[in-house]
Structure 1
Amino acid sequence: MAKNHGPSIKDDETYQSLRDDGASKEKAARIANAQASDDQDPSEKGGKAPPYEDWTKDDLYDRAQEIGIDGRSDMTKDELIEALRNH
């Protein structure tokens, strides 16, 4: 049986598996809670946004700022893309 990670984690087993695979606490919680919800289907393909490679550096910077990526002002476009994908 998976450890109980508290009331904010809806699927403890998925959360622990993601953490064991190296996912951040935040990312593991998002995925585990989405899978536990009947209203969400995280395995379905997402929206129709263009790939990050098609975004301008300014747009990538703005998105990184929205989600709080540290060090974004010194990053190149490729580094911003990597940081956004790994967040």
Structure 2
Amino acid sequence: MRDPAAFEALRVDRARRQGAPGGGDAPVADGDAPDGPSGEYEAWSVDDLRQRAAELGVVGRSTMSRAELIAALLDR
């Protein structure tokens, strides 16, 4: 894992966007992800990576490889 704090922030953000109980304010524990992909991008499908990249405004996401999408998301 490159940056555990970044992964935790992404888990909390995803839980908040998916309407987790409590508004996603509480951290989501490892392996206790809300419905859908976990917070670890390596486990996400390319479609899910592209969707998240779109939410974050990543330019060029439609032509990026899986590895490029993950790198772009981790840079955000």
Higher RCO (C-alpha under 8 Å, 6+ residues apart): 2
Q: Please give the alpha-carbon distance, in whole angstroms, between the structure 2 residues aligned to 1:59 and 1:74.
A: 14
> 2:46 is aligned with what amino acid?
K
SS at match of 1:69: coil
- Structure 1 segments (4+ residues) deviating >2 Å: 46-50
Which 5+ residue runs of structure 1 have no aligned equivalent? 1-45
Which 5+ residue runs of structure 2 have no aligned equivalent? 1-26
Query: Of residues 43, 47, 55 in structure 2, which corresponds to 1:54?
Result: 43
Question: Which structure: larger Rg?
Answer: 1
| 1:40 aligned residue | none
TM-score between both structures, scaled by the size of structure 1: 0.45
Please give the root-mean-square deviation of Cα atoms over the aligned residues, in Å: 1.8
Encode CA deviations 1:41-80: one digit per residue, 9 max, x unaligned. xxxxx53434100000000000000110001011000000
Matched residues, percent identical? Answer: 45
TM-score between both structures, scaled by the size of structure 2: 0.51
Q: Please give the alpha-carbon distance, in whole angstroms, between the structure 1 residues aligned to 2:70 and 2:49.
A: 7
Q: Please give the alpha-carbon distance, in whole angstroms, between the structure 1 residues aligned to 2:56 and 2:75.
A: 12
Structural mapping, 1:66-85, within 5 Å:
66-85=55-74
Q: Please give the alpha-carbon distance, in whole angstroms, between the structure 2 residues aligned to 1:78 and 1:56.
A: 11
Aligned residues: 43
